[in-house]
Amino acid sequence: MPDQRLVLASASPRRIDLLAQIALSPDVVDPAGIDETALPGELPARHALRLAEAKAQIVAQRHPGAYVLAADTVVACGRRILPKALDRDTARRALLLLSGRRHRVHGGIALALPEGRIVSRRVETAVVFKRLDSIEIEDYLASGEWQDKAGGYAIQGLAARFIRGIIGSYSNVVGLPLFETAALLAGHGFTRARRLPPASR
């Protein structure tokens, strides 16, 4: 049997909560701490996948023999990558750009296997925003929910009222595509998920 330790190469509480939703709990949380700057001319989808693979590779070197799961989430309008919102001005610009438009959320997931090989997947979700007025934007900025969020919003929070619809994985927008993550782990021998409780009647 291969080593069934699971290392999450991310300190994101959202990703930890999402894994718990599918009965997975990492043994170790070890963020990679890499430079997440896009390369010149790098497209959003490739950027998300490259960062996820880089995180998995770096953290796997610190945990030989374990399964190391890494992910990255990129919000994009066309070919433009929206940064994580670290200040109100960045968040405001992102919300103004997303207002009344469809954008895409690119999720990259990578899994370093116990023998050292890395496998990865890319997931894409389309998100449609309503047109936001200035009061809605300023109210949302006042909430502080946008802090450190890709694209300046959290779909699982107050920003849910701005979302007219999504096409694709909801959990990908939150921070980790659960169907693809579970399939990637199960497809490469990881079997240590908790048993599901019986359904309530």
Banded model confidence at residue 3, pLDDT cuts 50, 70, 90: low
Other Cβ atoms less than 10 A from the Cβ of 34: the count is 15
Higher pLDDT, 68 or 83: 68
Average pLDDT of the chain, as a whole number: 92
| CA dihedral sign, ordered 84, 90, 94, 97 | negative
Which positions are catalytic?
A: 72
Model pLDDT, residue 90: 95
Q: Which fold has domain 6-187?
A: Maf protein (3.90.950)
Two tokens, residue 7: 């290392």
Higher pLDDT, 192 or 118: 118
Banded model confidence at residue 98, pLDDT cuts 50, 70, 90: very high
Query: For 112-158, what is each residue's pLDDT tens digit?
Result: 999 999 999 999 999 999 999 999 999 999 999 999 998 999 999 99
Burial class (CB in 10 A: 0-12, 13-18, 19+), 195: exposed
Banded model confidence at residue 201, pLDDT cuts 50, 70, 90: very low
CA 65 to chain centre: 24
- Say whether pLDDT at 193 is over 80: no
